[in-house]
Amino acid sequence: MAVSPVLLGALLLAAGSIAAMLTEPTISTWPAAIYFTTSTLTTVGYGDIAPTTPESRLVSLAMALSGLGLFCDSVLAKGGAWMEAVPGSPLQQVLLAATLVVGAGTAAMASFEGWSVEDAGYFCFVTGTTIGYGDHASIRTDLGQLAASAYMLAAISVMSALVQELSQLSSRTMELVPTTPFLRTVFAPGMDVGATLMMGGTLGFMFLEPTTPTCVDSLYLTITTLSTVGYGDLSPTTPASRAFMVALSACGLGLFCGPVLSRCGRWSQALPTSCQPPIPRALVTFAGGTAIFMCLEGWSCLLYTSDAADEEDSVDLGGRRISTIKNRA
Protein backbone atom coordinates (compact mmCIF):
# COMPACT_ATOMS: atom_id res chain seq x y z
CA MET A 1 0.00 0.00 0.00
CA ALA A 2 1.41 3.41 -1.02
CA VAL A 3 2.16 5.91 1.71
CA SER A 4 0.68 9.38 1.19
CA PRO A 5 3.16 12.25 0.80
CA VAL A 6 1.75 14.02 3.85
CA LEU A 7 2.21 10.96 6.06
CA LEU A 8 5.68 10.33 4.61
CA GLY A 9 6.73 13.90 5.30
CA ALA A 10 5.38 13.76 8.84
CA LEU A 11 7.25 10.52 9.54
CA LEU A 12 10.53 11.90 8.19
CA LEU A 13 10.18 15.13 10.14
CA ALA A 14 9.29 13.29 13.33
CA ALA A 15 12.17 10.81 13.04
CA GLY A 16 14.67 13.55 12.21
CA SER A 17 13.49 15.79 15.03
CA ILE A 18 13.71 13.00 17.62
CA ALA A 19 17.19 12.02 16.41
CA ALA A 20 18.33 15.66 16.50
CA MET A 21 17.08 16.09 20.08
CA LEU A 22 18.93 12.96 21.17
CA THR A 23 22.26 13.55 19.44
CA GLU A 24 22.79 17.33 19.15
CA PRO A 25 23.50 19.21 22.43
CA THR A 26 22.81 22.65 20.91
CA ILE A 27 19.20 21.64 20.19
CA SER A 28 17.15 21.77 23.39
CA THR A 29 13.59 22.49 22.22
CA TRP A 30 11.21 20.76 19.83
CA PRO A 31 10.72 23.87 17.62
CA ALA A 32 14.52 24.05 17.17
CA ALA A 33 14.65 20.33 16.31
CA ILE A 34 11.83 20.68 13.77
CA TYR A 35 13.51 23.78 12.29
CA PHE A 36 16.86 22.00 11.96
CA THR A 37 15.28 18.85 10.45
CA THR A 38 13.20 20.82 7.96
CA SER A 39 16.15 22.92 6.80
CA THR A 40 18.15 19.71 6.31
CA LEU A 41 15.50 17.74 4.43
CA THR A 42 14.67 20.68 2.16
CA THR A 43 18.41 21.33 1.46
CA VAL A 44 18.11 24.96 2.63
CA GLY A 45 20.70 24.41 5.37
CA TYR A 46 21.01 27.88 6.87
CA GLY A 47 23.70 26.79 9.31
CA ASP A 48 22.53 28.82 12.31
CA ILE A 49 21.82 25.41 13.85
CA ALA A 50 24.34 22.83 12.64
CA PRO A 51 25.52 19.42 13.84
CA THR A 52 28.51 19.70 16.18
CA THR A 53 29.08 16.11 17.31
CA PRO A 54 30.04 13.02 15.29
CA GLU A 55 26.71 11.41 16.23
CA SER A 56 24.59 14.34 15.07
CA ARG A 57 26.62 14.65 11.85
CA LEU A 58 26.03 11.00 11.08
CA VAL A 59 22.32 11.47 11.79
CA SER A 60 22.26 14.46 9.44
CA LEU A 61 24.05 12.47 6.74
CA ALA A 62 21.54 9.66 7.18
CA MET A 63 18.66 12.12 6.85
CA ALA A 64 20.19 13.61 3.73
CA LEU A 65 20.91 10.28 2.05
CA SER A 66 17.67 8.52 2.93
CA GLY A 67 15.26 11.42 3.08
CA LEU A 68 16.18 13.98 0.43
CA GLY A 69 14.87 12.06 -2.58
CA LEU A 70 11.68 11.01 -0.82
CA PHE A 71 11.07 14.37 0.81
CA CYS A 72 11.90 16.70 -2.07
CA ASP A 73 10.20 14.61 -4.77
CA SER A 74 6.93 13.80 -3.06
CA VAL A 75 6.38 16.06 -0.06
CA LEU A 76 7.54 19.38 -1.49
CA ALA A 77 5.83 18.70 -4.82
CA LYS A 78 2.60 18.12 -2.92
CA GLY A 79 3.11 21.42 -1.13
CA GLY A 80 2.79 23.33 -4.40
CA ALA A 81 -0.19 21.45 -5.83
CA TRP A 82 -2.58 24.17 -4.62
CA MET A 83 -1.21 26.54 -7.30
CA GLU A 84 -3.29 24.73 -9.90
CA ALA A 85 -6.43 26.19 -8.33
CA VAL A 86 -5.20 29.75 -8.97
CA PRO A 87 -6.84 31.26 -12.08
CA GLY A 88 -4.80 32.47 -15.03
CA SER A 89 -1.86 31.32 -17.15
CA PRO A 90 0.97 29.26 -15.61
CA LEU A 91 3.10 32.41 -15.22
CA GLN A 92 0.23 34.31 -13.60
CA GLN A 93 -0.43 31.37 -11.29
CA VAL A 94 3.13 31.16 -9.98
CA LEU A 95 3.49 34.96 -9.72
CA LEU A 96 0.35 35.21 -7.61
CA ALA A 97 1.25 32.14 -5.55
CA ALA A 98 4.80 33.41 -4.94
CA THR A 99 3.48 36.85 -3.95
CA LEU A 100 1.08 35.30 -1.44
CA VAL A 101 3.62 32.89 0.04
CA VAL A 102 6.52 35.35 0.24
CA GLY A 103 4.23 38.07 1.58
CA ALA A 104 2.89 35.78 4.31
CA GLY A 105 6.40 34.57 5.18
CA THR A 106 7.74 38.13 5.31
CA ALA A 107 4.92 39.26 7.58
CA ALA A 108 5.37 36.27 9.89
CA MET A 109 9.14 36.62 10.28
CA ALA A 110 8.92 40.39 10.72
CA SER A 111 6.26 39.92 13.40
CA PHE A 112 7.79 36.99 15.32
CA GLU A 113 11.46 38.00 15.09
CA GLY A 114 11.23 41.80 14.92
CA TRP A 115 13.06 41.96 11.58
CA SER A 116 12.66 44.76 9.07
CA VAL A 117 10.48 44.07 6.04
CA GLU A 118 13.61 44.18 3.84
CA ASP A 119 15.46 41.60 5.93
CA ALA A 120 12.41 39.34 6.24
CA GLY A 121 11.73 39.50 2.50
CA TYR A 122 15.37 38.72 1.70
CA PHE A 123 15.25 35.77 4.10
CA CYS A 124 12.11 34.46 2.39
CA PHE A 125 13.67 34.71 -1.08
CA VAL A 126 16.89 32.86 -0.23
CA THR A 127 14.81 30.28 1.62
CA GLY A 128 12.37 29.65 -1.21
CA THR A 129 15.20 29.22 -3.72
CA THR A 130 17.10 26.97 -1.22
CA ILE A 131 20.17 29.22 -1.53
CA GLY A 132 19.96 29.67 2.24
CA TYR A 133 23.10 31.72 2.87
CA GLY A 134 22.46 31.71 6.60
CA ASP A 135 23.44 35.37 6.86
CA HIS A 136 20.21 36.36 8.62
CA ALA A 137 20.00 37.03 12.33
CA SER A 138 19.52 33.90 14.41
CA ILE A 139 15.89 32.86 14.75
CA ARG A 140 15.47 33.00 18.50
CA THR A 141 11.76 32.46 19.18
CA ASP A 142 9.85 29.18 19.04
CA LEU A 143 7.16 30.79 16.88
CA GLY A 144 9.82 32.10 14.49
CA GLN A 145 11.39 28.65 14.11
CA LEU A 146 8.01 27.01 13.52
CA ALA A 147 7.03 29.74 11.04
CA ALA A 148 10.32 29.31 9.16
CA SER A 149 9.76 25.53 9.04
CA ALA A 150 6.24 25.97 7.66
CA TYR A 151 7.48 28.53 5.13
CA MET A 152 10.15 26.14 3.84
CA LEU A 153 7.53 23.47 3.23
CA ALA A 154 5.13 25.87 1.50
CA ALA A 155 7.49 28.07 -0.49
CA ILE A 156 10.15 25.91 -2.10
CA SER A 157 7.95 24.27 -4.75
CA VAL A 158 6.30 27.63 -5.49
CA MET A 159 9.62 29.46 -5.91
CA SER A 160 10.98 26.60 -8.02
CA ALA A 161 8.01 26.92 -10.37
CA LEU A 162 8.50 30.69 -10.49
CA VAL A 163 12.18 30.36 -11.38
CA GLN A 164 11.34 27.92 -14.18
CA GLU A 165 8.68 30.22 -15.60
CA LEU A 166 10.99 33.25 -15.48
CA SER A 167 13.75 31.28 -17.20
CA GLN A 168 11.38 30.27 -19.99
CA LEU A 169 10.15 33.86 -20.28
CA SER A 170 13.73 35.08 -20.57
CA SER A 171 14.40 32.55 -23.34
CA ARG A 172 11.29 33.58 -25.27
CA THR A 173 12.13 37.26 -24.85
CA MET A 174 15.62 36.84 -26.30
CA GLU A 175 14.16 35.16 -29.39
CA LEU A 176 12.66 38.57 -30.24
CA VAL A 177 16.11 40.21 -30.33
CA PRO A 178 17.80 38.72 -33.44
CA THR A 179 20.37 41.52 -33.67
CA THR A 180 22.10 40.65 -30.40
CA PRO A 181 23.58 37.16 -30.87
CA PHE A 182 25.95 37.60 -27.94
CA LEU A 183 23.10 38.23 -25.50
CA ARG A 184 21.34 35.19 -26.90
CA THR A 185 24.13 32.97 -25.63
CA VAL A 186 22.89 33.70 -22.12
CA PHE A 187 19.76 31.72 -22.89
CA ALA A 188 21.14 29.16 -25.32
CA PRO A 189 21.34 25.52 -24.22
CA GLY A 190 24.78 24.28 -23.31
CA MET A 191 27.84 25.53 -21.52
CA ASP A 192 27.51 29.07 -22.98
CA VAL A 193 24.76 29.61 -20.43
CA GLY A 194 26.98 28.77 -17.50
CA ALA A 195 29.94 30.77 -18.78
CA THR A 196 27.85 33.88 -19.40
CA LEU A 197 25.96 33.66 -16.12
CA MET A 198 29.19 33.16 -14.17
CA MET A 199 30.89 36.04 -15.97
CA GLY A 200 27.93 38.37 -15.44
CA GLY A 201 27.55 37.35 -11.80
CA THR A 202 31.26 37.77 -11.12
CA LEU A 203 31.36 41.27 -12.60
CA GLY A 204 28.16 42.29 -10.82
CA PHE A 205 29.33 41.17 -7.38
CA MET A 206 32.78 42.73 -7.90
CA PHE A 207 31.21 46.15 -8.44
CA LEU A 208 28.28 45.91 -6.00
CA GLU A 209 29.48 43.78 -3.07
CA PRO A 210 32.29 45.22 -0.88
CA THR A 211 33.14 41.82 0.67
CA THR A 212 34.07 40.32 -2.73
CA PRO A 213 36.76 42.65 -4.13
CA THR A 214 38.57 39.97 -6.15
CA CYS A 215 37.51 37.92 -9.17
CA VAL A 216 37.94 34.68 -7.22
CA ASP A 217 35.69 35.82 -4.35
CA SER A 218 33.05 37.10 -6.77
CA LEU A 219 33.15 33.92 -8.85
CA TYR A 220 32.89 31.82 -5.69
CA LEU A 221 29.83 33.77 -4.52
CA THR A 222 28.27 33.53 -7.99
CA ILE A 223 28.65 29.76 -8.21
CA THR A 224 27.46 29.09 -4.66
CA THR A 225 24.42 31.23 -5.45
CA LEU A 226 23.53 29.77 -8.85
CA SER A 227 24.04 26.21 -7.64
CA THR A 228 21.85 27.04 -4.56
CA VAL A 229 24.56 25.76 -2.20
CA GLY A 230 24.93 29.16 -0.52
CA TYR A 231 27.55 28.39 2.12
CA GLY A 232 27.16 31.82 3.71
CA ASP A 233 30.83 32.64 4.29
CA LEU A 234 30.30 35.15 1.47
CA SER A 235 26.86 36.63 0.87
CA PRO A 236 25.30 39.90 -0.36
CA THR A 237 25.44 42.57 2.33
CA THR A 238 24.21 45.76 0.60
CA PRO A 239 20.78 46.57 -0.87
CA ALA A 240 22.33 46.84 -4.34
CA SER A 241 24.11 43.46 -4.21
CA ARG A 242 21.02 41.79 -2.73
CA ALA A 243 18.87 43.19 -5.54
CA PHE A 244 21.44 41.95 -8.05
CA MET A 245 21.42 38.50 -6.41
CA VAL A 246 17.63 38.33 -6.66
CA ALA A 247 17.71 39.25 -10.36
CA LEU A 248 20.56 36.83 -11.10
CA SER A 249 18.84 33.99 -9.26
CA ALA A 250 15.38 34.62 -10.69
CA CYS A 251 16.62 34.61 -14.28
CA GLY A 252 19.54 32.22 -13.96
CA LEU A 253 18.74 29.44 -11.51
CA GLY A 254 16.50 27.51 -13.88
CA LEU A 255 19.05 27.77 -16.68
CA PHE A 256 22.10 27.03 -14.55
CA CYS A 257 20.74 24.15 -12.46
CA GLY A 258 19.18 22.50 -15.52
CA PRO A 259 21.34 22.22 -18.64
CA VAL A 260 24.61 23.53 -17.17
CA LEU A 261 24.95 21.35 -14.07
CA SER A 262 23.68 18.29 -15.93
CA ARG A 263 26.42 18.76 -18.52
CA CYS A 264 29.02 19.32 -15.84
CA GLY A 265 28.19 15.88 -14.45
CA ARG A 266 28.85 14.06 -17.71
CA TRP A 267 32.47 13.47 -16.73
CA SER A 268 31.21 10.53 -14.68
CA GLN A 269 30.35 8.70 -17.90
CA ALA A 270 34.08 8.16 -18.40
CA LEU A 271 34.31 6.12 -15.19
CA PRO A 272 34.68 2.33 -15.40
CA THR A 273 31.46 0.41 -15.94
CA SER A 274 31.42 -0.76 -12.32
CA CYS A 275 31.24 2.89 -11.19
CA GLN A 276 28.43 3.94 -13.54
CA PRO A 277 25.43 3.36 -11.18
CA PRO A 278 24.42 6.45 -9.15
CA ILE A 279 25.72 5.27 -5.75
CA PRO A 280 29.29 4.45 -6.92
CA ARG A 281 29.42 7.74 -8.84
CA ALA A 282 28.32 9.64 -5.75
CA LEU A 283 30.93 7.85 -3.64
CA VAL A 284 33.67 8.69 -6.18
CA THR A 285 32.61 12.36 -6.20
CA PHE A 286 32.38 12.53 -2.39
CA ALA A 287 35.77 10.85 -1.92
CA GLY A 288 37.40 13.09 -4.52
CA GLY A 289 36.03 16.27 -2.94
CA THR A 290 37.06 15.13 0.53
CA ALA A 291 40.62 14.37 -0.62
CA ILE A 292 40.95 17.73 -2.40
CA PHE A 293 39.87 19.79 0.62
CA MET A 294 41.95 17.72 3.01
CA CYS A 295 45.00 18.55 0.89
CA LEU A 296 44.24 22.20 0.10
CA GLU A 297 42.67 23.34 3.38
CA GLY A 298 44.07 20.92 5.96
CA TRP A 299 40.60 19.80 7.03
CA SER A 300 39.78 16.57 8.81
CA CYS A 301 38.26 13.63 6.96
CA LEU A 302 34.73 13.99 8.33
CA LEU A 303 33.50 16.89 6.20
CA TYR A 304 29.99 18.02 5.50
CA THR A 305 30.06 18.32 1.72
CA SER A 306 26.32 18.03 1.09
CA ASP A 307 23.93 20.88 0.31
CA ALA A 308 21.73 19.93 3.25
CA ALA A 309 23.42 21.79 6.11
CA ASP A 310 26.26 23.78 4.74
CA GLU A 311 26.95 27.22 6.16
CA GLU A 312 28.17 27.56 9.72
CA ASP A 313 29.39 23.97 9.74
CA SER A 314 31.82 24.63 6.90
CA VAL A 315 35.10 26.52 6.69
CA ASP A 316 35.55 29.84 4.98
CA LEU A 317 38.00 29.11 2.16
CA GLY A 318 39.61 32.51 2.60
CA GLY A 319 40.39 31.89 6.25
CA ARG A 320 37.87 34.45 7.44
CA ARG A 321 36.19 32.12 9.92
CA ILE A 322 37.41 29.31 12.17
CA SER A 323 35.47 26.08 11.70
CA THR A 324 34.39 23.60 14.35
CA ILE A 325 35.47 20.70 12.11
CA LYS A 326 38.95 21.80 11.20
CA ASN A 327 41.81 19.56 12.30
CA ARG A 328 42.97 20.47 15.76
CA ALA A 329 46.66 19.93 16.31
Average pLDDT of the residues of the chain: 76
Count of Cβ atoms closer than 10 Å to residue 282 Cβ:
12
* Neighbour-count burial of 127, counting CB atoms closer than 10 A to its CB (0-12 exposed, 13-18 middle, 19+ buried): buried
Between CA 309 and CA 247 the distance in angstroms is 25
Between CA 317 and CA 329 the distance in angstroms is 19
Q: Do residues 105 and 124 touch, judged by C-beta distance below 8 A?
A: yes
As a whole number, mean pLDDT of residues 68-89 equals 68
Which residues on adjacent β-strands are paired with residue 299? 326
User: Rounded to the nearest 10 degrees, how much is the dihedral formed by the CA atoms of 17, 18, 23, 28?
Assistant: 70
Q: Which amino acid is at 319?
A: G
Distance set, CA 132 to CA 29, 77, 117, 212 (Å): 22, 19, 18, 18
- 23-73 pLDDT tens trace: 999 999 999 999 999 888 888 887 788 888 888 888 888 887 766 667 766
| pLDDT at residue 210 in the model | 93
As a whole number, mean pLDDT of residues 101-123 equals 93
| pLDDT at residue 269 in the model | 60
- 157-215 pLDDT tens trace: 788 777 777 767 766 665 555 545 555 554 454 446 677 778 888 999 999 999 998 99
Between CA 273 and CA 265 the distance in angstroms is 16
Q: What angle do CA 221, 171, 183 make, to 5 degrees?
A: 65
Burial 183-220 (b: 16+ CB within 10 A, else e): ebebbeeeebbbebbbebbbebbbebbebbeeeebbbb
Between CA 89 and CA 98 the distance in angstroms is 14
Asked whether the whole model's pTM tops 0.95, one would answer no
Structural Rg of the chain based on CA atoms: 20
